Amino acid sequence: MNLEAAIVARYYQDVPGANSVTVPGEYTFPCNASLPDLRLTVNGSGLTIGGHVLNYHPYDVEANSKHLDPASVTTPAHHPTS
């Protein structure tokens, strides 16, 4: 799902330990974190996506950091693009 950067940043502000440390717009968070529901308004109607379905897969930071260009890694400051 692609959303405006401000929406993505606001959502992850509520997730303890969340960091934008991979591709800008993608976040990592502790495995034991419970994601909050995402509530949006689309064409005037409320839409809720359960947080339990927003956790796509585990991410191995150590294994994946070998493939990152250090200049492209963002800090915990939110830099989402989608």
Q: What is the pLDDT of residue 80?
A: 45
The DSSP result for 25-79, as a single string, is: T--B--TTPPPPPEEEEETTEEEEE-GGGS------HHHHHTTS-GGG---SS--
Q: Is the per-residue pLDDT at 76 higher than 80?
A: no
Structure tokens that stand for 52 in this block: 């339990």
Q: What is the pLDDT of residue 28?
A: 83
Domain residues for 29? Answer: 5-72
* CATH code of 13's domain: 2.40.70.10
Q: What is the pLDDT of residue 64?
A: 58
Q: What is the pTM of this model?
A: 0.61
- Domain total in the chain: 1
The residue ranking higher by pLDDT, 75 or 42, is 42
Using 50, 70 and 90 to split pLDDT, how confident is the model at 62? low
What are 29-59's pLDDT values in tens digits?
A: 888 888 999 998 989 999 999 998 887 766 6
9 inside domain: yes
